Each structure stands twice: as C-alpha cells, then as structure tokens.
C-alpha cells in the first residue's frame, strides 16, 4: 500500500473510533447550525482535528481542504477531508455515515479512503492501482440500462433553487428504474457504486469533500463520473453523475433534458 494511503487509512480509522465512541451520547453533543439543513457537532470537529494531526505530523508541508476548518495552505499536495459525512444521520441514530479522505496532487485525485465505522468497511483507491474494500478488489456493476437498476441520489436540500430541475430528473429515472435510494451520505453512496451495491448515482450541490474520495473509488473500480455538462468539473459545479460506463450514458441522457444553465456553471471561487 502506498505510504500516503497508509496515513489516510490510519487517520480515517482513528476518526471512526471518535465517531463510534460518541454515537451513544448524541443527546449531550453541542450542535451548531452552519446553514439551511446543515449541522456540525463537536464530534465532526474532533474527528477532523485527529485527521489533520495525523496528516500534518507525517506531511507538514501538505495543504488541507476540510469541511469544518476550511483551507490550510501548503504545497501542491491537498488533502480533502470530510470527517463525518452524514452528520444529520448520525444525530438521529440513522446508521449511515462515514469518514472521507482524499489526496489531490496538482489537480489530480491520487488517493481516496471512505471508512464506515459502523460496518468496519474500509474503501480505498489509488490512481492506477484499483479500488478495494477491506483489501478485496471491487468493481462497478455491468448493469446496462435503467430497467432493473438501483440508483442512488441526494436531494438538493441546500440548493432548493434547483428543486424543480431535480424533480424532473427524479421522475425520468424513477419511471424506468427498479428503485431510487437516498441514504444521506454521498461518500458512502459513491463507495456503493464502486462496489456494485448501487448501479448509479447523481446529485446536485455537493462539496469537494463529499465526493473526492468516492469519485476516485468509482474510477478505479471501472466506472465513470462527470458533471451535468459531461465534463470533469464536478468538483467545481458540485453536480455529479456516476456509474459504470453504460449506466453513466443512460443516466446522462435521462438527466440532460432537465439540466438548466445554472446547473452547468462553475461555482464562484
């Protein structure tokens, strides 16, 4: 395993331990509201601090982009961190949440880790080295169409101006698929596409820390990820379609008629 991946795995597992220890005391946690339907707890912050401490001890010159503490300046190595993806689920005892850590070097995703502490499932990917779950190689499905497909999604609860467009996409995909699942943790949804538990996924308004590790997992598992303009600007637009190559094409064709001009714009820096 790549030495930097070893560090990411250790950081993810340590953060997962912090989350697991706190799961039975949710009612005593301090909760901050960051925005509409957007919450953070002291667990998010403690888990993030642990991840950053481990990374900075090993690589003090590396940069960091983290959900809670923002941007930490450094060199061309950028660690992209979501210490607890699925905070709302965690607060309600809904058992779907994960730690997500990715490494981007000069704009290219090099490493990705998604760790589910509840199931002790560790998803890892190295660019050019494939994707694994608990040291077992994983692949996307061979599903070729929406009929019989299980698709993941996320509601645009932070981007409600896009709700009408999203509902159009939902209706089109729902009409032909076997079902749509909205579990509330995009990092895990993307990991589930990589391992074949979902045939595809789409969402509006994600942040880089929500999807960076999951995107690399999917690509290294043989899948495809693009934004709604069929480009690789998902980190800048926040919008993503992902699946195996055939499913991605099918989903893009279903989604494209509902894409507004606003959904193809890059976010302001």
Helices (H), the chain: 3-22, 42-58, 87-91, 163-176, 186-195, 208-220, 234-237, 245-255
pLDDT of residue 268: 43
DSSP state for residue 160 in the 8-state scheme: G
pLDDT in tens, 174-190: 999 999 999 999 999 99
Contact of 4 with 103, CB cutoff 8 Å: yes
Burial of 141 (0-12, 13-18, 19+ CB in 10 A): buried
pTM of the model: 0.93
DSSP state for residue 168 in the 8-state scheme: H
Backbone angles phi, psi at 116, to 5 degrees: -100, 105
| End-to-end Cα spacing for the chain | 35
pLDDT of residue 160: 82
Nearest to 116 by CA among 128, 98, 134: 98
pLDDT of residue 29: 65
Nearest to 44 by CA among 73, 65, 15, 72: 15
pLDDT of residue 31: 63
pLDDT of residue 264: 86
Mean pLDDT for back-to-back runs of 10 residues, the chain (269 residues): 91 97 73 56 90 98 94 95 94 94 96 98 97 97 97 88 94 95 97 98 96 98 96 94 97 96 72
Report how far residue 214's alpha carbon sits from residue 231's, in angstroms, rounded to the nearest whole number: 17
């Amino acid at each position: 395993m790549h030495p930097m991946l070893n560090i990411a795995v250790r950081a993810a597992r340590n953060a997962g331990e912090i989350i697991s220890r706190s799961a039975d005391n949710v009612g005593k946690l301090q909760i901050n509201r960051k925005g509409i339907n957007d919450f953070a707890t002291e667990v998010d912050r403690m888990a993030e601090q642990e991840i950053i401490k481990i990374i900075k001890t090993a690589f003090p010159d590396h940069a960091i982009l983290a959900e809670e503490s923002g941007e930490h300046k450094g060199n061309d190595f950028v660690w992209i961190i979501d210490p607890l993806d699925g905070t709302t689920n965690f607060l309600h005892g809904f058992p779907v949440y994960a730690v997500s850590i990715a490494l981007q070097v000069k704009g290219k995703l090099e490493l990705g880790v998604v760790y589910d502490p509840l199931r002790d499932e560790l998803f890892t990917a190295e660019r050019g080295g494939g994707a694994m779950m608990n040291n077992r190689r994983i692949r996307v499905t061979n599903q070729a169409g929406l009929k019989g497909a299980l698709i993941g999604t996320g509601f645009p609860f932070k981007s409600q101006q896009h709700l009408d467009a999203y509902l159009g996409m939902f209706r089109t995909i729902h009409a032909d698929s076997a079902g749509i699942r909205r579990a509330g943790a995009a990092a895990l949804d993307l990991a589930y596409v990589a391992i074949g538990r979902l045939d595809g996924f789409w969402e509006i308004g994600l942040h880089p820390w929500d999807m960076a590790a999951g995107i690399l997992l999917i690509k290294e598992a043989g899948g495809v990820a693009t934004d709604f303009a069929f480009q690789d600007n998902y980190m800048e637009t926040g919008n993503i379609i992902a699946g195996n190559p055939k499913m991605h094409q099918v989903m893009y064709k279903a989604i494209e008629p509902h894409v507004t001009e606003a959904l193809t714009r890059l976010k302001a820096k």
